Structure 1
Amino acid sequence: MHIAFFGSSLLSSYWNGAATYYRGIIAALARQGYRITFYEPDAFDRQQHRDMDPPDWAEVVVYEPTVEAMQAAFRHAAGADIIVKASGVGALDNEILAATVAEAAKGKLGIFWDVDAPATLAEIDGDTRHPLRAALKRLDCVLTYGGGSPVVEAYRRVGARRCVPIYNALDPETHFPVAPQSRFTADLAFLGNRLPDREARVDAFFFEAARLLPHRKFLLAGSGWEPWQLPPNVEFIGHLSTRDHNAFNCSPLAVINISRKSMATTGFSPATRVFEAAGAGACLMTDGWEGISEFLTPGEEVIVINDARDVARALASLTPQRARQIGEGARRRVLREHTYNQRAQIVDRVLSELVAAKDQQAVA
């Protein structure tokens, strides 16, 4: 089957944290036999910051962020069997959603794929006129980046016919152990863009830990951070290409994941960074959220921390040998249970069921 996938960007991770997720799941779906065309707008300077060439497992169509160009992209996708509209495309989201609903009405499978479900649900909560509410009743399914049963139940309450979480995972051909690099040497490293519902949590977990440990080195990567925000022992290196993620994860003593507030509150939302770090064999710390033990075992495969003092205590007692043990345990776990090939099998099953159901409706 042919999938036309409208998302933020496959080719650039610049202000686009979903890039790794898109790449992993789409490449795995291609291995399942799907043909995928990914449509992305030329927006937010992402095309000027590409960190990936067009792959052989997906066709990529870049269009101008205008209504006319978007409509032309849908005409290009006319032969697709499945239309996927991802959340947070960043340009003409409502228009792409309406076009996806229109294609579903013609008999194609219409999917809304939410890569930030807690934030999306918070946005439409109480807004009975939000365009997504009406669209959900006409689309065949919602797939989500995560969120577990709280997100599934919430989507059902607002009208989704079906909702299935497709969690982040590891692509072992992309994220794996490499030799450390001196430019990424640190006691603790964090990779994440400055976002409104993450900024305060980064200060509480990461910057405050740096203040508590003034003689330890902290490393920060991502876009949007300002030098005046940083304690003197935090080195800021700016946007990090995905080509450097393995070295970034393998070089420090430990790396930390800090969830956005909405995802931490909802739970069951492991970030792409969790699996990237685990795949590279990094010693990972993460803020605590419900459901983490379904992905990694606290104390054995991940260090769970609740505040900056937890971070400081964990770093004070962490030896290189212990860090290696935790990283190796995490890598074994994700290779065994959390690869994109395994996630793609779930997607394939869901899509096959939906196509069969739609075919039955057409016959009836």
Structure 2
Amino acid sequence: MRMAFYGSSLLSCYWNGAATYYRGLLRALAAKGYDITFYEPDVYGRQDRRDIEPPQWCSVVVYDGTVAALKAVAGKAGEAEIVIKASGVGFEDDLLLQEVMNAARPEALKIFWDVDAPATLADLKTSPEHPLRRSLAGLDLVLTYGGGDPVVDTYRAFGAADCVPIYNALDPETHYPVAPDNRFAADLGFLGNRLPDREARVEEFFLDPAATLTALKFLLGGAGWQDKPMTANVNYIGHVSTRDHNVFNVTPKAILNVSRSSMASNGFSPATRVFEAAGAGACLITDDWLGIELFLKPGEEVLVARDGRDVREILTALTCEKAARIGKQARARIIQEHTYQHRATQVDRIIRICSRNLEAAQ
């Protein structure tokens, strides 16, 4: 089946946390026989910072950040049996949704894929006239990056025909154990861009422990932190290309996951870094959020911190032997249950059921 997928970027992870998610899922779907074209706008300097070239398993169309170019690529939706508009494309999202769904054939399966459901739903709750809210009745399905029952129930209440979470996962061919590199030596590493609803939590779970554990080394990667006050034991290295994610994850004694505020309060929203770190065999320390046991077992496959004090206590007691054991057990669990092959099987099943139901109703 031909799939037209309109998203932020497949080729660049620069200010684009969904890149790993898109790559893993679409690659696995292509292996199941889907003919996929991914449409992404040339915005935010992402094309100048590509970390992969167009892959063989998916056609990629990059269009100018203009309304005329947007309308031209939106018209291509009429050539596909499955039409997907993702959230957070980054250029005229509301117009793109309208144009893509107008161009889609009546018999095509029309899907909205929300890669930031808590934030999207917060907007819908405060804006009854939001274009997405008005469009839900014309869509066949909403898929989400995560969120669990709270997100599913809210989307259905807003008029979605159905909503299914498709969680992040691991692509074992891109994230795996490698040899450590002294460039990334640290006791605790954190990789994440500076975002308004994450910054205070990074202060609490990462920068504050660093300020008190002055004998330990901390490694900070991600865009936007260059003017953030931090102690001398924090090594800030800026944006980290995906080609260095494995070595970033395996070199420090432990890797920290800090959820954005909306994701943490909603729960059931594991970030890509959780699976990247586990896939590399890293010892992961994560902030506490509802649903983590669905993915990793606390105390054995992941260490859970409720606040910065917990982070300090975990780091102080953590031995290299324990860190290695947790990393090994985490990788085994993720490989067994949470790869993108698992997620693609789920998506394929959902698409086929929805397509059959759509055919029967026409």
Is the pair's TM-score, using the shorter chain for normalization, greater than 0.5? Answer: yes
Residue 195 of structure 1: aligned partner: 195
Deviation of the 1:75 alpha carbon: 2.9
Q: Within 1, Cα distance between the matches of 2:56 and 2:313?
A: 46
Cα shift readout 1:236-276 (whole Å, capped 9, x = no counterpart): 00000000000000000000000000000000000000000
Deviation of the 1:96 alpha carbon: 1.0
Residue 266 of structure 1: aligned partner: 266
SS of equivalent to 1:236: strand
> Superposed, which structure 2 residues align to 1:149-160 within 5 Å?
149-160=149-160
Q: Indicate conservation of the 8 Å contact 2:282/2:324, yes or no.
A: yes
Residue 324 of structure 1: aligned partner: 324
Q: Indicate conservation of the 8 Å contact 2:75/2:103, yes or no.
A: no
Residue 243 of structure 1: aligned partner: 243
Deviation of the 1:104 alpha carbon: 4.6
Q: Name the aligned partner's letter for residue 303 of structure 2.
A: I
Deviation of the 1:76 alpha carbon: 3.3
Deviation of the 1:357 alpha carbon: 1.2
Q: Within 1, Cα distance between the matches of 2:254 and 2:338?
A: 21
Q: Within 2, Cα distance between the matches of 1:249 and 1:279?
A: 9
SS of equivalent to 1:125: helix
Residue 91 of structure 2: aligned partner: 91
Q: Indicate conservation of the 8 Å contact 2:75/2:99, yes or no.
A: no
Q: Name the aligned partner's letter for residue 274 of structure 1.
A: V
Q: Indicate conservation of the 8 Å contact 1:83/1:103, yes or no.
A: no
Q: Name the aligned partner's letter for residue 112 of structure 1.
A: F
Q: Name the aligned partner's letter for residue 351 of structure 1.
A: I
Q: Indicate conservation of the 8 Å contact 1:2/1:35, yes or no.
A: yes
SS of equivalent to 1:78: helix
Cα shift readout 1:286-322 (whole Å, capped 9, x = no counterpart): 0000000010000000000011111111111111110
Structure 1 residue 119 corresponds to structure 2 residue 119: yes
SS of equivalent to 2:265: helix
Q: Within 1, Cα distance between the matches of 2:228 and 2:297?
A: 37
Q: Within 2, Cα distance between the matches of 1:28 and 1:123?
A: 32
Residue 146 of structure 1: aligned partner: 146
Q: Within 1, Cα distance between the matches of 2:305 and 2:332?
A: 22
Q: Within 1, Cα distance between the matches of 2:104 and 2:360?
A: 15
Identity fraction in percent: 59
- Provide structure 1 residue ranges, at least 5 long, that are not aligned to the other structure: none
Deviation of the 1:340 alpha carbon: 0.3
Residue 300 of structure 2: aligned partner: 300
Q: Indicate conservation of the 8 Å contact 2:218/2:233, yes or no.
A: yes
SS of equivalent to 1:286: strand
Q: Within 2, Cα distance between the matches of 1:169 and 1:269?
A: 11
SS of equivalent to 1:237: strand
Q: Within 1, Cα distance between the matches of 2:228 and 2:150?
A: 38
Structure 1 residue 134 corresponds to structure 2 residue 117: no
Q: Within 1, Cα distance between the matches of 2:45 and 2:75?
A: 25
Q: Indicate conservation of the 8 Å contact 2:137/2:160, yes or no.
A: yes
> Superposed, which structure 2 residues align to 1:1-364 within 5 Å?
1-104=1-104, 106-362=106-362
TM (normalized to structure 1)?
0.98
Deviation of the 1:100 alpha carbon: 2.8
Corresponding residue pairs, total: 362
Q: Indicate conservation of the 8 Å contact 1:221/1:238, yes or no.
A: yes
Q: Within 2, Cα distance between the matches of 1:10 and 1:229?
A: 33
SS of equivalent to 2:360: helix
Q: Indicate conservation of the 8 Å contact 1:103/1:110, yes or no.
A: no
Mark the CA change 1:353 to 1:107 in structure 2 (over 3 Å): closer, same or farther: same
SS of equivalent to 2:296: coil
Q: Within 2, Cα distance between the matches of 1:246 and 1:107?
A: 43
Q: Within 1, Cα distance between the matches of 2:149 and 2:86?
A: 20
Q: Name the aligned partner's letter for residue 45 of structure 1.
A: G
Q: Name the aligned partner's letter for residue 89 of structure 1.
A: V
Q: Within 2, Cα distance between the matches of 1:74 and 1:294?
A: 37
Q: Indicate conservation of the 8 Å contact 1:263/1:269, yes or no.
A: yes
Deviation of the 1:105 alpha carbon: 6.1
Cα shift readout 1:149-182 (whole Å, capped 9, x = no counterpart): 1100011111111000000000000100000000
SS of equivalent to 1:11: coil
Q: Within 2, Cα distance between the matches of 1:201 and 1:88?
A: 22
Q: Indicate conservation of the 8 Å contact 1:116/1:145, yes or no.
A: yes
SS of equivalent to 2:83: strand
Mark the CA change 1:133 to 1:103 in structure 2 (over 3 Å): closer, same or farther: same
Q: Within 2, Cα distance between the matches of 1:57 and 1:28?
A: 9
SS of equivalent to 2:5: strand
